[in-house]
Amino acid sequence: MKSSPFKVTKQKLSKEAALKKKKRDLAAAKTPLRRKRKAENQRLGQRSDSDLHHTGSGIKRVSIKNNRGNYGKGTKNE
């Protein structure tokens, strides 16, 4: 099967909008707080059975099911 010459994205954005979003996302990823959290995550190491959840008092490991399921409330109404 041949691969498509078009890049498949989850959001259907125009080329200009995609470039602006890429720039915004990169700026958000490089904020001091985000960089600190990324470094902390790398030190602790990710495991396949849990997600790292940043809270005001530090980091705690939570099950993937709870973290990605909005703790039983579901994600459709977020």
Query: 20-63, pLDDT tens digit by residue?
Result: 999 999 999 999 999 998 898 888 887 888 888 878 888 888 88
**What residues make up the domain containing 28?**
15-72
Q: Is residue 40 part of a domain?
A: yes
**What is the per-residue pLDDT for 55?**
81
What is the spatial distance between Cα 41 and Cα 39, in angstroms, rounded to a whole number?
Answer: 5
Backbone angles phi, psi at 45, to 5 degrees: 85, 135
Most distant CA pair in the chain, distance: 50
Q: Is residue 10 part of a domain?
A: no
Q: Is residue 77 part of a domain?
A: no
3-state secondary structure of 28: helix
Q: Is residue 62 part of a domain?
A: yes
Confidence class for position 72, pLDDT limits 50, 70, 90: confident
Average pLDDT over residues 3-22: 80
Q: Is residue 66 part of a domain?
A: yes
Domain count, the chain: 1
**What is the per-residue pLDDT for 20?**
95
More confident residue, 1 or 25: 25
| Whether pTM exceeds 0.75 | no
What is the spatial distance between Cα 53 and Cα 75, in angstroms, rounded to a whole number?
Answer: 17
